[in-house]
Structure 1
């Protein structure tokens, strides 16, 4: 007899409001991917993404699976309690479960620690047979060969934003605010190119994203992939490291293969700040030449920017805006420094007694400040961050940046306008988030 399983991609209401009006919110691929491992002769699958769906608490399931990141942890615990109160079994996995398994165990019946390719199918079989263990720990490095194709057919609507695919896992670098080294096995791994291309062929939409943490992690492999991808005539985006964009051949291949934009972790325009978080691979003096090179190949730059480093002073917001306008940065994903558990930044701030709270909802990097900054107050950090976001997506700044970039103008305007609209309903005062 089939068991009913519910897979949940959680999204707390605060962050959902923050993201809702933006036009480039691609699906989180974890649950559609894990769904592909499930034997439908044994399980009836329901997939729910809280971005645009309601969790069916009133329905009866034998098993509920939830993937947890840190900022959603408290929300996920609430979801779990509602199901467990109805005698439904809950399994949890994901980054937060891997970082803090002892905490997460208190809120579920079963826990997945680490990467899931080996332990998730093992758990599913054990649960079906009625002999599931309380804990499954990834003890060997999963090979990315023969990965199943994500179950995009289970995704609700989101025609233009359901195309996400994995071609590699991990990152060669060790930035001290990032938790990739704590949640993934070493080493950096790539997926067979033929398998990546085969999965992309199954996507109906012309647009997709690579869900890799560093698409340029293995340049030789990426070049081979791009030469094959060119044949598909798709449009796509990927997260890359700025330093590796110096490679002209790589940029040319990316453009020919349909690349529209790169998400680039610039983080700061201060070399001192970059050095303080082990991001010395970024050279501020080379930003202009590399970004000009990306633009000259017809690719937009979506910059990741973080405010709140210990070297940041009150003038950092204006200086960053001026630099973005001058360089023609096409878009920006802006965050407040977030001390994620088990990272060096978290350890430092905890040791210095600068963490504000253990409530993980404050650790989202978008609407809260979870620590005491060094050279400004929490209020000044939050309001400076909000000021930057509003000014960056003001008509004046959009005009300056588009005039400088001259890259994919229509796409650029659509994305910038989406961010501008999303900001219109956002509170800007720090007190609102206390």
Structure 2
């Protein structure tokens, strides 16, 4: 039987990594990568598995020599660090296997450095490889013939994850997305037919993480509502569990904008304890959305649908993209205005990039508009050659857009518009149920939320990086207090301050040329 170490490489500092905010909330990383506990759960009994996430602990390369197999996973943004680790392992003669999103779209990315490559999902191929390895007959490449039946996968080994080091937990309820966005690699890797876990499986995973101390969980699906009927069934099961246990966890997820078309679905999400949803809005321009085949965003007004999701009690986080073929230099102002008018605080507006094997990559390659070397250039960070502006215009416009979005005054004007003037009903379904059915729990949560908000604000004020922003923080804090919003909004304000530190620090460093461009 094998001694196995599974490694997730360190992420470079990124927008959604919230790296600069982690010290304020006392954590090392935003959330764990599911690939490690999933693979550990797939490992047959008898093998010994150790998980190492370089985002929360250092890799001890000397200790790795004692393992029979060292496995490495990684996304596109981790590819440089993956190579560095694999070069070190190769130099030491350690038997190494690699899988994950990046090697699944660029299979020869690490040619000569690894012994075995896994392409795509591994629910069938990982156990098969271990059986082949035990007989000394393993292959150099494994790829499943069929997509995984998610209703039959084993429970991930959450007991091996150091959840105390992460800000949030994460549970995957499905894989695949029914849409056909040209730039997206999800449909390449996981397909367009959503494959879904049973409600019992999802609840068991939420409960397992809760027992390990997790209080905030990201339902990390490609599109949680890819199958709306199944999503509703899962939400009803989560509601039952939350009520039976006094709503011990908050949740958020990723979904498409057609969420706004289903009132029942939004109601079930808030009753299940969801407080936010990430939506790939991409562009305020219908022409750009049609170009990239994001047709689900052009059915009705986007602004009206964003407002409808917010009015249901869900904060909207937005994914935005600049650099579509219809984008000229005026797009940056339109992006800024859309996000301001629609009260969206958290928005990652990235430059369009073409991932290998996607339809976008094939189209731009045929048009001679790819520059793959530029994707690794720290002053470019995209391989796309735009049509109506130069690469330099796109980069500089994007940097200015990010700086404006995370200017402290602009950022908290959006906070006021959503949480004070807009009076977003965040978590109201959960709190109303607790007040009616468990009044003592309701009072306890109110007290704990208030304490947590004050504690976090004290940490924010005590951090030297916040000195330039404190006058803005103070002014908007008094506006919130004067509005007499419930205690959970004080905590939300404190969290928004911590996250602002991250966004403002990162955008400032990039604008001043103090760090490489981060396009994710």
TM over 0.5: yes
2:510 to 401, 419, 427: 427
1:42 to 24, 44, 47: 47
Shift of 1:266: 0.4
Identify the range of structure 1 (71-80 vs 109-118) with the bigger mean alpha-carbon deviation: 71-80
Shift of 1:150: 2.1
SS in structure 1 of the partner of residue 96 of structure 2: strand
Compared with structure 1, are the counterparts of its residues 256 and 14 closer, same or farther at alpha carbon in structure 2 (3 Å cutoff)? closer
2:308 to 281, 293, 310: 293
Compared with structure 1, are the counterparts of its residues 15 and 58 closer, same or farther at alpha carbon in structure 2 (3 Å cutoff)? farther
Does residue 141 of the first structure (1) align with residue 221 of the second (2)?
no
SS in structure 1 of the partner of residue 301 of structure 2: helix
Partner of 1:30: 35
Does residue 416 of the first structure (1) align with residue 420 of the second (2)?
no
Does residue 187 of the first structure (1) align with residue 193 of the second (2)?
yes
Contact 2:369–2:384, Cα closer than 8 Å, also in 1: yes
Shift of 1:285: 5.2
SS in structure 2 of the partner of residue 302 of structure 1: strand
Partner of 1:167: 173
Cα distance between partner residues in 1 of 2:491 and 2:386: 36
Cα distance between partner residues in 2 of 1:162 and 1:217: 23
Identify the range of structure 1 (390-399 vs 273-282) with the bigger mean alpha-carbon deviation: 390-399
Contact 1:310–1:375, Cα closer than 8 Å, also in 2: yes
Instruction: Tell me how large the CA RMSD over aligned residues is.
Output: 2.5
Cα deviation per residue 1:219-241 (whole Å; 9 max; x = unaligned)?
A: 11111111111132221011000
Partner of 2:61: 57
Identify the range of structure 1 (417-426 vs 160-169) with the bigger mean alpha-carbon deviation: 417-426
Partner of 2:416: 403
Unmatched segments (≥5 aa) in structure 2? 23-28, 427-488
Contact 1:8–1:50, Cα closer than 8 Å, also in 2: yes
Does residue 394 of the first structure (1) align with residue 407 of the second (2)?
yes
Shift of 1:313: 1.5
Task: With the length of structure 1 as denominator, give the TM-score of the two structures.
Answer: 0.91
Does residue 107 of the first structure (1) align with residue 124 of the second (2)?
no
Cα distance between partner residues in 2 of 1:116 and 1:360: 28
Shift of 1:173: 0.3
Cα deviation per residue 1:97-146 (whole Å; 9 max; x = unaligned)?
A: 22222444443100112211111111122223332211111102221123
Contact 1:179–1:340, Cα closer than 8 Å, also in 2: yes
Identify the range of structure 1 (295-304 vs 281-290) with the bigger mean alpha-carbon deviation: 281-290
Shift of 1:216: 0.4
1:331 to 346, 367, 389: 346
Cα deviation per residue 1:66-93 (whole Å; 9 max; x = unaligned)?
A: 1132332243122112112211111111
Alignment of 1:361-372 (within 5 A): 361=376, 368-372=381-385
Shift of 1:30: 1.2
Contact 2:374–2:381, Cα closer than 8 Å, also in 1: no
Compared with structure 1, are the counterparts of its residues 428 and 369 closer, same or farther at alpha carbon in structure 2 (3 Å cutoff)? farther
Shift of 1:36: 1.4
Identify the range of structure 1 (235-244 vs 32-41) with the bigger mean alpha-carbon deviation: 32-41
SS in structure 2 of the partner of residue 27 of structure 1: coil
Does residue 214 of the first structure (1) align with residue 223 of the second (2)?
yes
Cα distance between partner residues in 2 of 1:129 and 1:359: 44
Cα deviation per residue 1:242-272 (whole Å; 9 max; x = unaligned)?
A: 1232211111111011011000000000111
Contact 1:382–1:430, Cα closer than 8 Å, also in 2: no
Contact 2:69–2:95, Cα closer than 8 Å, also in 1: yes
Shift of 1:31: 1.2
Identify the range of structure 1 (200-209 vs 24-33) with the bigger mean alpha-carbon deviation: 24-33
Contact 1:72–1:361, Cα closer than 8 Å, also in 2: no
Compared with structure 1, are the counterparts of its residues 300 and 202 closer, same or farther at alpha carbon in structure 2 (3 Å cutoff)? same
Cα distance between partner residues in 2 of 1:266 and 1:178: 13
Shift of 1:288: 2.3
Compared with structure 1, are the counterparts of its residues 307 and 359 closer, same or farther at alpha carbon in structure 2 (3 Å cutoff)? closer
Task: With the length of structure 2 as denominator, give the TM-score of the two structures.
Answer: 0.77
Identify the range of structure 1 (85-94 vs 406-415) with the bigger mean alpha-carbon deviation: 406-415
Contact 1:93–1:113, Cα closer than 8 Å, also in 2: yes
Compared with structure 1, are the counterparts of its residues 76 and 171 closer, same or farther at alpha carbon in structure 2 (3 Å cutoff)? same
Partner of 2:257: 242
- Higher Cα radius of gyration: 2
Contact 1:238–1:262, Cα closer than 8 Å, also in 2: yes
Contact 1:101–1:111, Cα closer than 8 Å, also in 2: yes
Cα distance between partner residues in 2 of 1:105 and 1:180: 24
Partner of 2:393: 380
Cα deviation per residue 1:354-413 (whole Å; 9 max; x = unaligned)?
A: 2223476459xx971323222222222222222222221222222322232223444543
Partner of 1:75: 81
Partner of 1:198: 204
Contact 2:178–2:192, Cα closer than 8 Å, also in 1: no
Unmatched segments (≥5 aa) in structure 1? none
